[in-house]
Structure 1
Amino acid sequence: MVKSLPARSEVEIQETWNLDDLFKTEEAYNDALQELETDVTAFAERFKGNINDEQTIIDALDGYAAIMGKMIPIGTYTSLSLSVDQTNDEAQMRASNYGSIAAKLGSQLSFFTSELSDLPVEQLEKAMNRSDEYKNYLDELIRQKPHKLHPEVERTLAALSSVLNAPYGLYNTTKLVDMKFDDFEVDGEKFPLSYTSFEGGWESNPDTTKRRAAYDAFHAKLRQYQHTQAKTYDMHLQREKTTSDLRNYDTVFDSLLFNQEVDRSMYDRQIDLISTELAPHMRKYAKLLQKVHGLDEMTFSDLKVPLDPNYEPKITIEESKKYIDDALSIMGDDYIDMVNRSYEERWTDFAQNAGKSTGAFCSSPYGVHPYILISWTGSMEDVFVLAHELGHAGHFYNAHKHQNIFNSRPSLYFIEAPSTMNEMLVANHLLSNSEDPKFKRWVISSIVARTYYHNFVTHLLEAEYQRKVYDRIDAGGSVNANVLNTLKREVLEKFWGEDVKINEGAELTWMRQPHYYMGLYPYTYSAGLTISTQVSKRILSEGQPAVDEWLKVLQAGGTKSPAELAKMAGVDITTEQPLRETIAYIGELIDQLVELTEEIEGVKIG
């Protein structure tokens, strides 16, 4: 029986994260905010109109870095305290207040990059030669010069940032506060439903009747909000298009890929190759699920069902630590020390409660340890998800130690490589510990259903849909619920063909994903997993030398482009080969699942 989610005040404190490491009291938070406002005013008074030689550039960068160092924990505390309970009035008002203050501070600080950008390239290069610490920052500033606007325009845009970014907040409020799910009924018995219980339980429930009933009820509620959510998304898209045009980019794609340091060919290749070459493998996997579960037809609502639900162990939070420690021990003592600290010092919010953000994420504020959000259900999937988020944590734990505040964050294109690497290490560790066919099938099916289905299929289909949306926006169009539903259904039907029935409600999947408010993010999951798949193979075959190279990649942070970072780890992402090899590897895993199922069940599959 699935229970209704408790209020945040009712969950065990040991299952929550400890935000005291950011600010111990509300008074300390408010004092820090007031100090930040004072520092920004002093910085503007000292440097506005006075950045005119190499030493002043360096002095101003020192001051700007100090301000960023104070702003980051304040913004992190504000967002994290809201993310665990969007219904909390105090957290809502704090976030709204900080949004207004941050916009004002951004407007005050906008002169800094404007005045730096107006300086001759030669002068910026002289400053770079005098300070290795700021070389990457100034390099990037020079790269962005053609897209900078008049200082007054930049100041106005910064002042309006809380308004311009409002659609994402509205999306979350609609999704996590206003949207209330009714119980659904099966054979006269009622079951509670929520975003968290659907995505963390009902969507993969092995009972077909309950799973499909939960699916229908969940999407019936989404449908009631489709027009509001579509309008919210269209506002976000129009803001991106307007900004792209103002900054003289040819397309929205160019605007969003610019900061990723990735050209359009690398973006398109990731979507096109997977869409065509992975589809046959995943259709084979869908047929396997249908056969094993004796389904009358394979529908979209059945794709998350586990291959062998009877073999799925329940895992406590404490038990997950041993799995992860054992699997990630190859990364070295310092890395494992970070993992252990995450448990001991409550870096992770495991609780399930009403109003909490769905899914999982890792926030890695510079100067403070990372924070991880997850809603723990006790399945093996949770271990993979936690390992994934600890991959982000380990990445920035290393990068922050070796890079300054400007250099620690790499391109979005690379951001999912360290996270998916940890999933691969967990999978490889589990596979090396048993030759039992049922255990092997369970592990491989976990890799396929969690690591590859989620990162290569779910996010890939989001990426192809997103590309269609931006094509429409670039052509001067807009979107509404009917347009978005049609585009999403087309993508799903193309990928799954006749092997999976795209049943009513599947077209509303676009409503579930916050990544659409984060630029061209969805495709980067497959990009990162392509890199991590190849590096994990190197670690299996070469051992410590490959691990050492990978740790150097993590420590490099944002000092190199995605292609350069991948090359450091022995992967050439400027070619199709790593992606093709990864797709082939997924096909091999699915073939193994078919063979193991035939061995275990004693039946011919296919």
Structure 2
Amino acid sequence: MPKPQELPLRKDVPEELTWDLTTIYPTDQEFETDYDAVQTGAKQFAELAGTIEKSAASLLTATERLMTLSRKLEKVYVYAQLKNDQDTSEDKYQAMYSRAESLGAQFGAATAWFEPELLKISDDQIKQFYQDEPKLADYRRFFDQTFKRRNHILSNDVEAVLAGAGDIFSSGEKTFGILDNTDLSFPAVTDENGNQVKLSQGVYGILLESTKQSVRKEAFEKLYQVYRQFQHTLAATLTTNVKNHNFKANIRHYNNALEAALADNEVPTDVYNNLIKVVNEHLDLLHRYVALRKKILGLDELHMYDMYTSLVGKKSPKYTFEQSKQIALEALQVMGPDYVSHVKEEFNNRWIDVVENQFKRSGGYSSGTYDTNPYILLNWKDNLDNLYTLIHETGHSMHSYYSHHNQPYQYGDYSIFVAEIASTTNENILTDYLLNKFKDDDEMKKFILNYYLDGFKGTVFRQTQFAEFEQYIHEQDAKGQPLTANFMDDYYRNLNQKYYGDAVISDPQIGLEWSRIPHFYYNFYVYQYSTGFAAASTLADGIVNGGQANVDKYLNYLKSGSSDTPTNVMKKAGVDMTQPEYLEKAFQIFEQRLDEFERLYNK
């Protein structure tokens, strides 16, 4: 029997396939120098407490010191994180990363006084400060983001109590995490080769893609057997989390938990409510897709565990990393020469850590700071999914590149609300490019359309279903309704039936899905996947099928950082996310591609 191929050690990976972190620090000694500087600077900054409301000069001094320290800390932290992620077995970089995390905590403690003291400055006083010291105008939006929350910030004593109770408030999330990641024990199941494999969250996802329904069914039923045993405990952890959100929203004088959560990102609740409304109006498209899935799979009964297996039934086409870079560059030509030149810079200057090696962190991401390259971590496999991952992470990196090169440090980052839009726009541009490239190849078109339709189903429809459930349980708790396991099971199963329609059997087990979704502990986070994908669909369509003006507006969005509110930034890009039109456009594109997919199968 041939010996299984082992992953290379880090030292054996060809240099050209690794990222070059010497552009951050040429040696670890420079890291140590900056580390010491942040540690010393944080202590000195703490001594400025009580000064900023005295004069405009004092406020400017403290703000500039805060920015300088924060900027250096980010560089220290990212270097340590990237060094650790490339080989998590190396003690030296484990320790370096741990020290960087501790330094972040020290910095947080030393600077915690700044915001409460800033809030003591009245509107009239800050106007006078802007006249006394014109340089403060560079930080006007930075200050305004704090002043906006003035009515929701409590007295120093109460704020201190809330801060001190942080561990208590997060107990539900922590308990769920320990239970879900560590204490739950899953049984063995049979894979499609007849082998017994121990079930886990990762293995479950792979088994649901199996071409054998018996494999999918066993994985589904055995996973939920475990969650059913603990559903009352999991209902208690989720209830604790919901009560935490509702309590904080109430004490901070928000109308509800949704408003409080979205206020942190300066996003109006209309964005959330429009999403749920418009998605519900287009559930007939999901019902159509589900019915088509049942027909193509040739099943008498379609179950929820049949939603993830490929409708094409073939293995992914192979794309090497070199081929994928070339395809990405060709697809992104529509962005114009400036954008493409920076993508080439990324591809040619070792901003990407490409291949998997022993002990390397799994997955993929884009990371960096204002003063570093926007690095990408991959664990490359030669398939279509990794081609999409490359262009997705490149979207994040180009967003960071443009933001960092066009904004001062204080506005150089961007809101999480707009972050996924840049990456998913790139994905949508790639889909357009591939569909055009293979317009005469029906088999490849089916493969690409299947990939797109499943992505839309899993992002726009599924994440909105999650968002609707999350809003409902918060509202019910606020009304005094006990969030028992049976109450949530019943509502979730009915919600699932509404979303997927009559072509699928909503098995009793699917009512338990709420109990295993970590995102329900993230405080109204999931809706951003849906709004981001929909906005990206609209933007990509405008870039591919519109004129240069659409490209220019898009690049201006990438350059904006956090210089304006997230919804204003997107309005300048050509998408008003407070209105439903961008969602309608996304569904129009989905319907066109569903029509095409159906046509190809009926040929």
Which TM-score tier does this pair reach, normalised by the shorter chain?
Answer: 0.7 to 0.9
Q: Does 1:60 align with 2:49?
A: no
Q: Does 1:213 align with 2:218?
A: yes
**In structure 2, distance between residues paired with 1:342 and 1:169:** 38
Query: 2:306: which partner in 1?
Result: 302
3-state secondary structure, aligned to 1:184: strand
Cα displacement (A) at 1:471: 1.5
Residue in structure 2 matching 1:264, options 269, 276, 282:
269
3-state secondary structure, aligned to 1:568: helix
- Please show how residues 419-458 of structure 1 align to structure 2 within 5 Å: 419-436=423-440, 437-450=442-455, 452-458=456-462
**In structure 2, distance between residues paired with 1:161 and 1:27:** 35
Of 204-213 and 428-437, more deviation after overlay is shown by 204-213
Are the equivalent residues in 1 in contact too, given 2:335–2:543 (CA < 8 A)?
no
Are the equivalent residues in 2 in contact too, given 1:203–1:301 (CA < 8 A)?
yes
Query: 2:196: which partner in 1?
Result: 190
- Please show how residues 388-407 of structure 1 align to structure 2 within 5 Å: 388-407=392-411
**Residues 221 and 282 of structure 1, relative CA distance in 2, 3 Å threshold:** same
Q: Does 1:204 align with 2:204?
A: no
**In structure 2, distance between residues paired with 1:157 and 1:385:** 40
**Residues 542 and 557 of structure 1, relative CA distance in 2, 3 Å threshold:** same
Q: Does 1:464 align with 2:468?
A: yes
**In structure 1, distance between residues paired with 2:335 and 2:561:** 17
**In structure 2, distance between residues paired with 1:202 and 1:95:** 35
Are the equivalent residues in 2 in contact too, given 1:279–1:495 (CA < 8 A)?
yes
**In structure 2, distance between residues paired with 1:295 and 1:431:** 28
- Please show how residues 333-482 of structure 1 align to structure 2 within 5 Å: 333-340=337-344, 342=346, 345=350, 347-348=352-353, 351=356, 361-372=365-376, 376=380, 378-436=382-440, 437-450=442-455, 452-475=456-479, 479=483, 481-482=485-486
Query: 1:561: which partner in 2?
Result: 565
Are the equivalent residues in 2 in contact too, given 1:349–1:374 (CA < 8 A)?
yes
Cα displacement (A) at 1:181: 5.0
Are the equivalent residues in 1 in contact too, given 2:351–2:376 (CA < 8 A)?
no
Cα displacement (A) at 1:427: 0.6
Q: Percent identity?
A: 24
**Residues 322 and 235 of structure 1, relative CA distance in 2, 3 Å threshold:** farther
Of 73-82 and 462-471, more deviation after overlay is shown by 73-82
**In structure 1, distance between residues paired with 2:483 and 2:36:** 41
For residues 473-510 of structure 1, the C-alpha deviation after alignment (integer angstroms, 9 at most, x for no partner) is 43356646555444432321221122111235434444
Query: 1:121: which partner in 2?
Result: 123
Task: Report the residue type matching 1:54 in the other structure.
Answer: A
Q: Does 1:547 align with 2:578?
A: no
For residues 56-95 of structure 1, the C-alpha deviation after alignment (integer angstroms, 9 at most, x for no partner) is 2222111111122133244546766787899999999887
Query: 2:325: which partner in 1?
Result: 321
Cα displacement (A) at 1:292: 1.4
**Residues 310 and 50 of structure 1, relative CA distance in 2, 3 Å threshold:** closer
**In structure 1, distance between residues paired with 2:102 and 2:169:** 12
**In structure 1, distance between residues paired with 2:574 and 2:23:** 37
Query: 1:42: which partner in 2?
Result: 44
Are the equivalent residues in 1 in contact too, given 2:52–2:117 (CA < 8 A)?
no
Are the equivalent residues in 2 in contact too, given 1:106–1:158 (CA < 8 A)?
no
TM-score normalised to structure 2 length: 0.85
3-state secondary structure, aligned to 2:278: helix
3-state secondary structure, aligned to 1:305: coil
Query: 1:150: which partner in 2?
Result: 155
- Please show how residues 488-503 of structure 1 align to structure 2 within 5 Å: 488-503=492-507
**In structure 2, distance between residues paired with 1:189 and 1:118:** 66
- Please show how residues 168-183 of structure 1 align to structure 2 within 5 Å: 172=177, 174-176=179-181, 182-183=187-188
For residues 188-207 of structure 1, the C-alpha deviation after alignment (integer angstroms, 9 at most, x for no partner) is 532465433443x3332333
**Residues 315 and 395 of structure 1, relative CA distance in 2, 3 Å threshold:** same
Task: Report the residue type matching 2:254 in the other structure.
Answer: Y
For residues 161-219 of structure 1, the C-alpha deviation after alignment (integer angstroms, 9 at most, x for no partner) is 566557656655554555565542258532465433443x3332333333333333444
Cα displacement (A) at 1:472: 2.9
Query: 2:292: which partner in 1?
Result: 288
Query: 2:114: which partner in 1?
Result: 112
For residues 397-434 of structure 1, the C-alpha deviation after alignment (integer angstroms, 9 at most, x for no partner) is 21122123332334443332212211110011112212
Task: Report the residue type matching 1:502 in the other structure.
Answer: S
Query: 2:73: which partner in 1?
Result: 71
Task: Report the residue type matching 1:237 in the other structure.
Answer: V
**In structure 2, distance between residues paired with 1:339 and 1:314:** 22
Cα displacement (A) at 1:268: 0.8
3-state secondary structure, aligned to 2:190: strand
**In structure 2, distance between residues paired with 1:456 and 1:318:** 31
Of 409-418 and 280-289, more deviation after overlay is shown by 409-418
Residue in structure 2 matching 1:135, options 122, 133, 140:
140
Please report the RMSD computed on the Cα atoms of aligned residues, expressed in angstroms.
3.8
Q: How many residue pairs were aligned?
A: 593
Of 142-151 and 21-30, more deviation after overlay is shown by 21-30
For residues 239-274 of structure 1, the C-alpha deviation after alignment (integer angstroms, 9 at most, x for no partner) is 333332332222111111112323222211111210
Cα displacement (A) at 1:559: 1.6
Cα displacement (A) at 1:333: 4.4
**In structure 2, distance between residues paired with 1:5 and 1:137:** 52
3-state secondary structure, aligned to 2:410: coil
**Residues 252 and 145 of structure 1, relative CA distance in 2, 3 Å threshold:** same
For residues 534-559 of structure 1, the C-alpha deviation after alignment (integer angstroms, 9 at most, x for no partner) is 22222122343321221111101112
Cα displacement (A) at 1:395: 1.3
**In structure 1, distance between residues paired with 2:165 and 2:31:** 24
3-state secondary structure, aligned to 1:46: coil
Are the equivalent residues in 2 in contact too, given 1:5–1:354 (CA < 8 A)?
no
Gaps of 5+ in 2: none
**Residues 177 and 97 of structure 1, relative CA distance in 2, 3 Å threshold:** farther
**In structure 2, distance between residues paired with 1:56 and 1:50:** 5
**In structure 2, distance between residues paired with 1:441 and 1:520:** 35
**Residues 94 and 480 of structure 1, relative CA distance in 2, 3 Å threshold:** farther
Task: Report the residue type matching 2:418 in the other structure.
Answer: F
For residues 368-396 of structure 1, the C-alpha deviation after alignment (integer angstroms, 9 at most, x for no partner) is 33344566554423322332232222212
Gaps of 5+ in 1: 600-606
**In structure 2, distance between residues paired with 1:315 and 1:265:** 42
**Residues 387 and 57 of structure 1, relative CA distance in 2, 3 Å threshold:** same
**In structure 1, distance between residues paired with 2:82 and 2:488:** 30
**In structure 1, distance between residues paired with 2:5 and 2:269:** 43
**In structure 2, distance between residues paired with 1:62 and 1:449:** 48
Query: 1:602: which partner in 2?
Result: none
**In structure 2, distance between residues paired with 1:302 and 1:580:** 28
Task: Report the residue type matching 2:386 in the other structure.
Answer: D
Are the equivalent residues in 2 in contact too, given 1:128–1:134 (CA < 8 A)?
no
TM-score normalised to structure 1 length: 0.85
